[in-house]
Amino acid sequence: MTNTVIQYVLSRLHDIGIADIFGVPGDYAFPINDAIATHPEIRWVGCCNELNSAYAADGYARIKGTGALCTTYGVGELSALNGVAGAYAEHLPIFHLVGTPNMPTQAARALMHHTLGNGEYDLFRKMAEPAACASAVMTPQTAAFETERLIYQALYHRRPVYMAFPADLANQPLTGDAPRIPLPHSNPDMLEAAADAVLAALDQAGTACVLPGILVARLGLRPALEAFIDASGLPFATMFMAKSVLDEQHPAYVGMYDGALMNEDVRRFVEESDLILNIGSPMTDFNSGAFTANIDPSRTIEIKHHFTRVKGKTFQSVEMADLLALLADRVKRRVGRRTAVASLGPVEGRGEEPISAAALYPRWANFLKPDDILIAETGTVSMGLGFAHMPKGASFHNQTLFGSIGWATPAAFGAAVAAPERRIVLVTGDGAHQFTAQEISQLHRFGLKPIIFVLNNNGYLIERLLCKDPAISYNDIAPWNYAALPHALGCEGWMTARVATCAELDQALEAAARATTGVYIEVVTDAYAASPLALKLHDAVATLYKS
């Protein structure tokens, strides 16, 4: 029977789909650590540091819908804060469980370790508040109510929440109960009015298309949106942040829309449509092709999480899920023109030729299989793979908005924990990998078998492309023997390789496709071997970084 503060919280987290909690132990958090480690249905998943645990929870939530991490007070939670902030930016409901000093210590303003030595015990919670949609201190009197409130807030906003557990209260019995809080439904009248307005606009439009956004994935609404696409016959394009939010093998898919930077046919198709349905896609810099997207607001319908805007009129209290269901039921089917989906082009290079960008990215695209989970690091590797035509059921994940380099390796660990039955393909750059490379040891420790590609281009290529002097010293990094890392980090039995020619790359890709172990391949290219999008992004935004 779940009758203590921490037992109640863990029981409710399990109810909403959390079976694994990432973290690093610490003395103030021992009551939480113990409860997780002994829980019959939740597994403690230790990480190499707290930042990595936050990234791992992010990757887990992308697959399972929600995630959790546990850190100790002060040093632990602050180390994780960058990863939690990224989850906030990317609309991921993460539960951050923090163990704090006991209440007598706090009341006495004692000068304890992991503090600033000033007797203030709420400073770190205040630091965390901007990166959380809600927070609470969990006590026996309030834990039931606060747990239900925080679950509601996390799922309503699809953002992280912060839960503080004083060490002497976590194992105390609850002294109250609280009802479950159901997520809201739409206001019926506003829902009907919004649906009527959308359908009327569609009826008046000669051509129309859909831009599905990342909120569709975060809300678990892929089936609902696909039902609307099928019922309406409308074509759809996706922006970078929402790549693969709908199956890219769907016949209505026309390709990636990235403003004026890439795919001119798709740009014209989208921007010349009489009506554009933007369904949860934010117009961020990388999402809009460095703000080169030219979408007329007067021809755009915005279907947001909790409201809809049609021709300047806003319909509040309209939930995206309810509206998509209603539209799928009522929309008239239309036959729209189609645009062939662009590919990365033919595979170039062979034999002893060095690996160029044109040789590398089409090979990686061809390597992908149906249902793969592709984790692509921020920077040039994600830009190169962002325009690969994904196989059926495969998903593409990138931290497009927050863009914290080093995210991808631990995020791939979290995704692999969430879906051990699926093939995880991680593609990261050498600079980013040096931030968080140690987390590959956890992949092997938990029996997971990812396929990891590390692009060794001898530094921060995306920074070289954006700064005044590409060869300046701050873009250089220490030379690592990347292919030796798995063995050094305990990944015994993994397939490892270092490739520098097209023939070596082809041989390694063939072996990786057959491998039954973890795979780690270091791919060596020229320092400036960049994908077309990375080069065009340089031309579009370099002025932002120059005085």
Q: Indicate if 406 belongs to the active site.
A: no
Considering 77, 226, 247, 430, which one is annotated as catalytic?
430
C-alpha span between 360 and 352 (Å, rounded): 14
Per the annotation, the verdict on 459 as an active-site residue is yes
**Which distant-in-sequence residues (6+ apart) come within 8 Å of 310 by Cβ?**
194, 197, 198, 201, 301
Q: Find the catalytic residue in 459, 475, 518, 522.
A: 459
Beta-sheet pairing, 313-316 with 307-310: antiparallel
Is residue 463 part of the annotated active site? The answer reads yes
The Cα 520–Cα 534 span in angstroms is 25
**Using CA atoms, how far apart are residues 244 and 396, in angstroms rounded to an integer?**
6
- Comparing C-alpha atoms, which of 421, 422, 415 is closest to residue 443? 415
Look up residue 458 and give its two tokens: 């001898």
Q: Using CA atoms, how far apart are residues 298 and 356, in angstroms rounded to an integer?
A: 43
Tokens for 535, please give them. Answer: 């080069």
From 15, 27, 203, 264, active-site residue: 27
H helix or E strand, kind and range, residue 524: strand 519-524
Q: Helices (H) and strands (E) in the chain — how many of each?
A: 21, 19
> Is-contact 241 334, C-beta < 8 A?
no
Token pair recorded at residue 31? 């009551």
Helix pair 222-232, 320-330: axis angle to 10 deg: 30
Residue from 367, 355, 365 nearest 509 by CA: 367
The residue annotated as part of the active site, out of 50, 302, 322, 372, is 50
How is residue 334 written in tokens?
Answer: 């239309």
The verdict on whether 429 is a catalytic residue reads: no
CA 83, CA 419: separation in Å to the nearest integer? 21
- The Cα–Cα gap between 30 and 222 comes to 39
What's the CA gap between 37 and 43, in Å, rounded?
6
Interatomic CA distance for residues 491 and 489, integer angstroms: 6
State both tokens at 292: 């080169």
Active site residue 117: no
Catalytic site residue from 429, 457, 475, 518: 457
* 110, 268, 283, 285, 310 from 293: Cα distances, Å: 55, 11, 8, 10, 20
Of 114, 148, 348, 458, which residue is the catalytic one?
114
351: tokens are 């034999």
Catalytic residue among 76, 99, 280, 403: 403
Question: Is 27 marked active-site?
Answer: yes
Contact 35, 13 (CB under 8 A): no
- Given the residues 113, 185, 306, 487, the one annotated as active site: 113
Catalytic positions, please? 27, 50, 113-114, 403, 430, 457, 459, 463
